[in-house]
Amino acid sequence: MLLGAAILIATLAQWRRLRVWQKVAGTIVGLIFLVGNAEGPLPESTNIEQPKPQLRQEEKTREYDLVDIYTACTELAKRPLKAPRTAKFQPVWEATTLMGKDQQGNIVWTGWVDAQNEFGVYLRNRFVCTYDPKTRSISVRFLEP
């Protein structure tokens, strides 16, 4: 409340020198602090909790996220490249729609990465990334061209 009063007094004291937007902003901010805190602070015994979002049943049971799998796969696929900073992977939205499951229940994604070789030429390398939800392990295997 004191801050709101101080802002209003400062705005009124400088009224002739301020531009229109400064007058409006100072008045609005001062009133917000003045009126918004008019009731005083909440007592310390008041416990206000934010409502927790309700998760759908499929989100509760799913222990992996496709974007997390994509991120981990791309990080693993960068390791053997000659110039990992030049790596350009397929977009995440495209990759997550191409992910599927094999017979063992593993998440499998066949992706590609464009990266420079030792001569500076961009080459496309294809790889298969496998996520095992039982062991929570990820493996990347490059395919031969």
For residue 132, what are the β-bridge partners? 137
The per-residue pLDDT for range 44-91, each reduced to its tens digit, is: 554 555 555 554 544 443 556 888 899 999 999 999 999 999 999 999
Q: What is the pTM of this model?
A: 0.55
DSSP string, 60-101: HH----HHHHHHHHHHHHHTT-SSGGG-EEPPHHHHHHH-EE
Q: Which residue has the higher pLDDT, 132 or 8?
A: 132
Q: What local confidence, expressed as pLDDT, does residue 83 receive?
A: 94
Q: Which residue has the higher pLDDT, 23 or 100?
A: 100
